[in-house]
Amino acid sequence: MKSVKIIGNLVSTILFFTLLIMAIVVISSRVTGGEPNVFGYQLKTVLSGSMEPVIQTGSIIAVKPGGDMTRFEKGDVITFTDKEDRLITHRIVNVKGSDEQLHYITKGDHNDGPDREPVLPQNVTAEYKGFTIPYVGYLFNFADSKSGGALLLIIPGLLLIGYSIFAVWKVISEMDTRKKRETTSVD
């Protein structure tokens, strides 16, 4: 009986923390426009395999925005915007020019050749700092959708409510069984 109570408490705790984590993911992705900030780092979702195996598709990465965008060297990994205003994270394979003429030649680690267009320092938004969590990006991307955000809050909440109803029903059943035993033993 004691082990059932311990398991029940463990299930309740897991469901509660799942609900809490899902709420944080959904709210932070809504407030920040899909990219939460943690201690000055932006969390970005990686949706392509261009940087594999270093950065897997579906990962989230931490990038540090700001600073002098002319400071980067060959081998640094930067996040930049392309002509279509898409965010891309690639490695610098060459630095060309100096001062006002500076530009970076970038390439995804998994790509065969360098990117077609050089990256100007004003298009660099952040530097990748080596922090990656695989597969969590899929969750962030799903949470950013209307149905995903609702489901990530509703499902753990329903599970928690369902488990609470089951726990109350179990306690009532045990009380009825005790009452029946007491009534039978008195007769």
The catalytic position among 3, 12, 28, 48 is: 48
Any catalytic annotation for residue 48? yes
SS (H, E, C) the chain: CHHHHHHHHHHHHHHHHHHHHHHHHHHHHHHCCCCCEECCEEEEECCCCCCCCCCCCCCEEEEEECCCCCCCCCCCEEEEECCCCCEEEEEEEEEECCHHHCEEEEECCCCCCCCCCCECHHHEEEEEEEEEECCHHHHHHHHCCHHHHHHHHHHHHHHHHHHHHHHHHHHHHHHHHHHHHHHHHHC
Residues classed as catalytic: 48
